[in-house]
Structure 1
Amino acid sequence: MVICTPFTATTEDSWLNRPAHRRWLIAQGESLIAFGKASRRPEGGFATLDERGHPIPAQRPQTLIAARMTHTFALAALQGIPGAGALVDHGISALTGLFHDDRHGGWFAELPDDDDDPGIDTTKQAYLHAFVALAAASATAAGRPGARALLDRAVATLEQHFWSPEEGRMRESFSRDWQQGEAYRGANSNMHSVEAFLALADVLEAPVWRERALSIAAHLIHDHAMAAGYLVVEHFDQHWQEWRDYNRDQPGDQFRPYGLTPGHALEWSRLLLNLEAGLLRHGEHAPAWLLEDAIGLFDAAVATGWAADGAPGFVYTVDWENRPVVQARMHWVIGEGVAAAAALLARTGRARFEHCYRQWWDYIDLYMVDREHGSWHHELDEHNRPAASVWSGKPDIYHAYQATLFPRLPLAPTAAALLAERPDLAG
């Protein structure tokens, strides 16, 4: 199957084997870290940045941003980037104190003004708690003070409230006091839980977290996605019945958009390969379907999402007939695309994944990289012009930074654990 423009060089002539390309990736990553440093809030946590890289004072600090930036700076600290370690410590402090609900446990979605502030989102969300666990795991791998205590608290919360042994997946969200659960189950929160679980397995040397990641993947990908032609079914009711018209009236939701999200298929594709590699590395059984499904997801994402409306770039969402719904191009989708292509190239050696890898970095260089103000545009319209219909500003550097890092690393162990052992491998 040819799904990206072929090149004429030999299949062994991968960009990833070229020192100049690796230097370019490193330089891109370092520029993203430099941009992200402006998000540090003296009061604690990290601010959402606007298009020019300035903090948006009117926006309440978010736990998601704090966790993602802490994780990203931990990866930078592990590589020896000056200033990154202090920013990890800053993030640990915020996640330990400011964002934590000391009354009921768990983490707020956003920073409260006081303990009884009625204006904040007080729900306890699996999506956010997965990122807190990921940040704590990466910070622990980086050896930062207070990280292990934060990690232990995050793990206890996941196990007590979110992980469902009966379902073999994560519950979605609860009221602040944990007494009411949401009658919804989401693939997005479970996908990022897989990401966090793989990191927990490595940092804690606890294979149970890989087992749980495999359980989630088996249900959501090998059962539901494979049956849907490797399009990731995103929304379910509390009994795990597919909810295909969920958010039909809010098609551009940031985290739960209507329909199908090609970018998530790309993200899942890479995660399945990370999971497979992690299982094999520890002598654990890795089902053959992990590779088969990773390829199926990748191909389905490209077939349905890439240039779906005739212009280059991945559309954000499509409907169940594969027609574009939200045509905006999100930076995280193309970032996950290059990471998935690199992972599949490393795993299979097939030239077609190199084709996509090259084509998509060319696209990022042409359209996504903001050479005037720094970082990447978080959203482009259907004509590949900067836009803000779904995302405004440049909230964090998590997806873009990982796109510059992951292609330079083996598929296992997870990035922070690997860099703690072999920081030279990122060079």
Structure 2
Amino acid sequence: MHSIPAASSSWLNTPAHQQWLAAEGMRLLAFAKASRLTIGFGNLDERGQLPADAQAETMNTARMTHSFALAHLQGLPGFAELVDHGIQALSGPLRDAEHGGWFATLEPRDGSTDKAAYLHAFVALAASSAQVARRPGAQALLDDAIAVIERHFWCETQGAMRESFNRDWSVEEAYRGANSNMHATEAFLALADVTQDSRWLNRALRIAERLIHGHGAANQYLVIEHFDGQWQPLHAYNQANPADGFRPFGTTPGHGFEWARLLLHLEAARVQAGMLTPGWLLRDAQQLFAHNCQHAWQVDGAPGMVYTLDWDRRPVVRQRLHWVHCEASAAASALLQRTGEAQYETWYRRLWEYSEQYLIDPVHGSWHHELDADNRPSAQIWGGKPDLYHAWQAVLIPRLPLAPSMATALAQGSGSRVM
């Protein structure tokens, strides 16, 4: 399998577009620097300020550490110390020194001390990127994250991740989630590169086979998000709370796009490693992209992708979230790299035109994280601008090969389009 070059006129091959992506990346990074707290990183408001009560959260600290490591690997000054700052927080205050693993926040709220697979996948991703960047303490953090995944989260029998546990790991949640397994797949691709251990690619394939080639394909390639402990779909899950930021009711088109891209990364990684690589990885990626575009784009008359759909493919939560469009454009660029097909060029340009018109905030910086159904700034699901990870990767992925994973590609200098 080889990627098919896009036409010379493709934005992927246009120096001005590559320069635009690079400049937008620098703008995003400059905004995100203000998220630094005494310990870890906090959530910025819409003007790029830390609220008075801001405290470190494991998710954002891990995402920032990963993102800043990618910046450092590009040779951008001023980010190495931020990577080190994130490592210190993840290795110290955010880690449960008594029982192992990571808390969601520096001071767990409402007595919650759950250990979630979603968070641990991001810790593993951050540690792997920091290790590729050769930052102090990264290897120990990476070893710790891998050990926790092996001991508590990976289920060899099911070929997927368990969801969450209480603080001492004695009680397991009777739930399985596609979201946590999707980010585990992302982390496993990075772990395969940094450890040179192909078992991570085999695990990623098993997750994708269950969730996408199995459940997703049977649902017209709209991702089923929620399952019980035996992997039976929970179609009514969170119907009373449809706009949940992590476990919304119905199907989430943004995850369909994210999965499409991850399948292509997995395909490329397995080919690069000389491993057996099923043809359905490409076919399923194309189907995911096509069906989620069909059902989510402009379905209520206004431009943009809706957040969620019900099981009859009707919009439920009509807000336009920035991360959904980041993942859609990144998936379009990956499919364009892989196939060279003009339809993906069309979508890639359409999505960037939308993001530039509605989501990118030239006044206060970064991107509006949420728009309402009429594409006006909103904050019903996500307030402020805490997320660097999605937009930063969206401007970086089109400048990198599909494999190896981002940090390793930057370290090897294989991202020839990075400017």
TM over 0.5: yes
Which of 413, 416, 419 aligns to 1:422? It is 413
Aligned to 2:209: 218
2:349 is aligned with 1:358: yes
Does the CA contact (< 8 Å) of 1:304 and 1:322 recur in 2?
A: yes
Aligned to 2:331: 340
RMSD: 1.1
2:57 is aligned with 1:62: yes
Which of 61, 69, 72 aligns to 1:74? It is 69
Cα distance in structure 1, aligned partners of 2:51 and 2:22? 28
- The one-letter code sitting in structure 1 at the alignment partner of 2:103 is F
Aligned to 1:383: 374
Cα distance in structure 1, aligned partners of 2:71 and 2:387? 14
Cα distance in structure 2, aligned partners of 1:408 and 1:295? 20
Aligned to 1:6: none
Does the CA contact (< 8 Å) of 1:48 and 1:394 recur in 2?
A: yes
* 1:371-425 deviation per Cα after TM superposition (whole angstroms, max 9, x unaligned): 1110000000001010001000001200000000001100000000111111762
- The one-letter code sitting in structure 2 at the alignment partner of 1:227 is A
Q: Compute the displacement of 1:98 (Å).
A: 1.0
Q: Compute the displacement of 1:258 (Å).
A: 0.1
Q: Compute the displacement of 1:80 (Å).
A: 1.1
Compute the TM-score of the two structures, normalised by the length of structure 1. Answer: 0.95
Aligned to 2:307: 316
SS of match in other structure, 1:23: helix
Cα distance in structure 1, aligned partners of 2:290 and 2:21? 25
Aligned to 2:3: none
Cα distance in structure 1, aligned partners of 2:299 and 2:415? 40
Aligned to 1:134: 125
2:22 is aligned with 1:32: no
Does the CA contact (< 8 Å) of 2:41 and 2:55 recur in 1?
A: no
Does the CA contact (< 8 Å) of 2:8 and 2:14 recur in 1?
A: no
Aligned to 2:87: 92
* 1:79-132 deviation per Cα after TM superposition (whole angstroms, max 9, x unaligned): 0111111100000000000100001000000112xxxx7745300000000000
Q: Compute the displacement of 1:57 (Å).
A: 2.4
Percent sequence identity over aligned pairs? 57
Which of 13, 16, 22 aligns to 1:17? It is 13
Structure 1 window deviating more from structure 2 (10-19 vs 390-399): it is 10-19
Cα distance in structure 1, aligned partners of 2:408 and 2:206? 22
Aligned to 2:138: 147
Does the CA contact (< 8 Å) of 1:221 and 1:232 recur in 2?
A: yes
* 1:299-358 deviation per Cα after TM superposition (whole angstroms, max 9, x unaligned): 011011111111100000010011100000000000001100000001011000000000
Gaps of 5+ in 1: 1-9
Give the alignment of 1:15-414 within 5 angstroms: 15-41=11-37, 43-112=38-107, 119-414=110-405
Cα distance in structure 1, aligned partners of 2:271 and 2:190? 15
Cα distance in structure 2, aligned partners of 1:252 and 1:146? 38
Does the CA contact (< 8 Å) of 1:79 and 1:423 recur in 2?
A: no
Where does structure 1 differ by over 4 angstroms across 4 or more consecutive aligned residues?
A: none
Cα distance in structure 2, aligned partners of 1:323 and 1:413? 37
- The one-letter code sitting in structure 2 at the alignment partner of 1:134 is L
Cα distance in structure 1, aligned partners of 2:349 and 2:128? 32
Does the CA contact (< 8 Å) of 1:126 and 1:172 recur in 2?
A: yes
- The one-letter code sitting in structure 2 at the alignment partner of 1:62 is E
* 1:31-72 deviation per Cα after TM superposition (whole angstroms, max 9, x unaligned): 10000000011x210010000000122243210000000000
Structure 1 window deviating more from structure 2 (190-199 vs 78-87): it is 78-87
Compute the TM-score of the two structures, normalised by the length of structure 2. Answer: 0.97
Cα distance in structure 1, aligned partners of 2:137 and 2:248? 36
Does the CA contact (< 8 Å) of 1:111 and 1:120 recur in 2?
A: no
How many matched pairs?
413
Check 1:411–1:59 CA distance in 2 against 1; reply closer, same or farther (3 A cut). Answer: same
Check 1:24–1:141 CA distance in 2 against 1; reply closer, same or farther (3 A cut). Answer: same
Does the CA contact (< 8 Å) of 1:195 and 1:271 recur in 2?
A: yes
Cα distance in structure 2, aligned partners of 1:398 and 1:57? 23
Q: Compute the displacement of 1:149 (Å).
A: 0.5
Cα distance in structure 2, aligned partners of 1:101 and 1:396? 24
